[in-house]
Amino acid sequence: MQIFKDKVILITGANRGIGRSLVKALLHTGVRKVYATCRDLNKMPTFDDDRVVTLSLDITDDRQIAAVAAVALDTEILINNAGTVNPGNMLEGDLTGMQRDMQVNYFGTITMMRAFAPILRKNKPSAIINIVSIAAYSPLPSIAGYAASKAALFSATQAVRIELAKEDVAVYAVNPGAIDTDMNRGSDWDMPDSDSTAVRIVEHIANGELDSVPDTMGQGMYQAWREDPSKLSAIFSDLYHATPID
Ligand SMILES: NC(=O)c1ccc[n+]([C@@H]2O[C@H](COP(=O)([O-])OP(=O)(O)OC[C@H]3O[C@@H](n4cnc5c(N)ncnc54)[C@H](OP(=O)(O)O)[C@@H]3O)[C@@H](O)[C@H]2O)c1
């Protein structure tokens, strides 16, 4: 996989879920180094690979971001994976949770892109890979604040793609459907695991797909949206009204 071969990668939220699986998948692609970052290094799994360098990073903490950017000056591919989801619909959901999702998923990721843009420009050809969500295309009202934060992140990703287009920094958006991680704990949906999803993500990026959907459920939703955005809204409406929130 040429895009990852001998590259230095930094990933956020690497301690569990899709982030941890991405580190494992990337280590099979010939990468030179992976900066695996997470909020609490005590929770970082052992990857048993000398190429992994662990760093502490909360993406809502500007000082921590600056400190990591000062260390990881050789980063060539930035993977913004860290994210939170707080349940609640738009009209009655907990505003604090919505603000939290916006702080992490949107502002935290933007701050990461701002901090690393000079590094990526210097180390070009380089890339930013943002893990967004299919909810960026149409909201699922039971997680309305999350969907709004991901729609905002999707917009920011497209903006940064244009801003960096002539500087040899490629900007990718990955929009999964539902993946079997802590984020979906308690769901009885039939979901792929994070390991197989991470392999698919790596393959889509290696194929040069700037916008990709790694899982079958997400791809079905994306196709519905492509045919007619109201079709995806109808799918989410059915889901919402079938399982009304308390
Ligand atoms: N699972 C899905 O169905 C799905 C679908 C579409 C998109 N996504 C996106 O995929 C990404 C990974 O999600 P996941 O499913 O792997 O969820 P997860 O298992 O809940 O993992 C979330 C990760 O984000 C980290 N994180 C949360 N807030 C952070 C912060 N302020 N600073 C740094 N790290 C932070 C968590 O760290 P802690 O352990 O410290 O909390 C954890 O490592 C997210 O952006 C999510 O929105 C997931």
Q: Using CA atoms in the order 7, 195, 114, 156, what is the torsion angle rounded to 10 degrees?
A: 130
Average pLDDT over the chain reads 96
Which of 179, 191, 239 has the most ligand 1 atoms within 8 A of CB, as the residue to mutate?
Answer: 179
CA atoms within 13 A on the CB side of 131: 28
Ligand 1 mean position, distance from CA 86 (Å): 11
> What average pLDDT score do residues 150-168 get?
98
Mean pLDDT score, 181-204: 96
As beta bridge partners, residue 126 has: 169
List CB contacts of 107: < 8 A, sequence separation 6 or more: 60
pLDDT in tens, 29-86: 999 999 999 999 999 999 999 999 999 999 999 999 999 999 999 999 999 999 999 9
In order of their start, the domains of the chain are 8-242 (3.40.50.720)
At 1 the pLDDT is 73
Give ligand 1 pocket residues (Cβ under 6 A). 12-13, 15-19, 38-40, 43, 57-60, 81-84, 104, 108, 131, 133, 176, 178-179, 181-184, 194
Q: Is 11 exposed, middle or buried (0-12, 13-18, 19+ CB in 10 A)?
A: buried
